[in-house]
Amino acid sequence: MWRRKVLTCALQNHPWRTIAIRRSSSVSSAIDSMILRSLKDHYLEISKMAPPPVNPPTPFSVVKGALDNNGPVLRRSYGDEEIRISVMRLANILPDAAEADADADGDIDDINQLFLHVDVSKAGEKESLHFLCGLYPDALGIHSVSMRLKFETLDSNVVSPSYTGPVFE
C-alpha cells in the first residue's frame, strides 16, 4: 500500500511523464486523421469509376441455361443468319513431358486453353458454318472451318452423313 502512494506521488511530482503520453496520443491521432483522409479520397475515386458491363454487347443475348451446362453461349440474328458463339475452357492442360520437366520445387505452371466456337447458320438450312478458334493472350487463331449440322437439330445419336474435314489429294 505504501508503494502505491509513493508511485502516485512520484507521478504527480514529475509532469514530464504525462507530457510524453500526451504527445504520443496527439501523434497517433494525426496519423489516424491522415489515414482516414487518404481512405476517403480513395473511396471517392473508386466510386467515380464505372463497373464493367455485366451483360453482353447489345446485339447479342445469352442463351438461358447455357451457363449451367458447358459455358456461356451468345446468340445474335443478323439479317437471315443466326450467329451463335460459345467458349470452352480446358483447364490445366499439361503434357506428360512437361510434368517431368517441372521445377525442382515441384511447381508446375497451370496452362489454360480457351476455344471459341462460332456457328453461323441461315434459316431453313440443315447445316451451319462452324469456326473453331483458339484464344491466346495476344492473338486469335482459327483452327478449323467446317460445315456441320445445326446445333438445334444435332442429336447425340445422329452421326454426320458426310466427312466434314479438309479434302486430302
> So where are the chain's domains?
2-48, 61-149
How is 61-102 classified by DSSP, letter by letter? EEPTTTTTTTS-EEEEEETTEEEEEEEEEE-S---HHHHHT-
pLDDT at 158: 47
Other C-beta atoms within 10 Å of 109: how many?
Answer: 9
Amino acid letter for position 121: S
Give the N- to C-terminal CA distance of the chain in Å, as an integer: 109
Which pLDDT tens digits describe the chain residue by residue (169 residues)?
A: 556 665 565 556 555 555 555 555 677 888 888 899 888 888 888 788 776 666 777 777 777 766 666 667 888 888 889 888 888 877 665 555 545 555 455 555 555 678 888 999 998 888 999 999 998 878 889 999 999 888 654 444 445 556 566 776 6
pTM value surpassing 0.75: no
Q: Which backbone phi and psi does 155 adopt, to 5 degrees? A: -115, 155
CA–CA gap between residue 112 and residue 93 (Å, rounded): 6
CA–CA gap between residue 127 and residue 83 (Å, rounded): 13
CA–CA gap between residue 151 and residue 53 (Å, rounded): 28
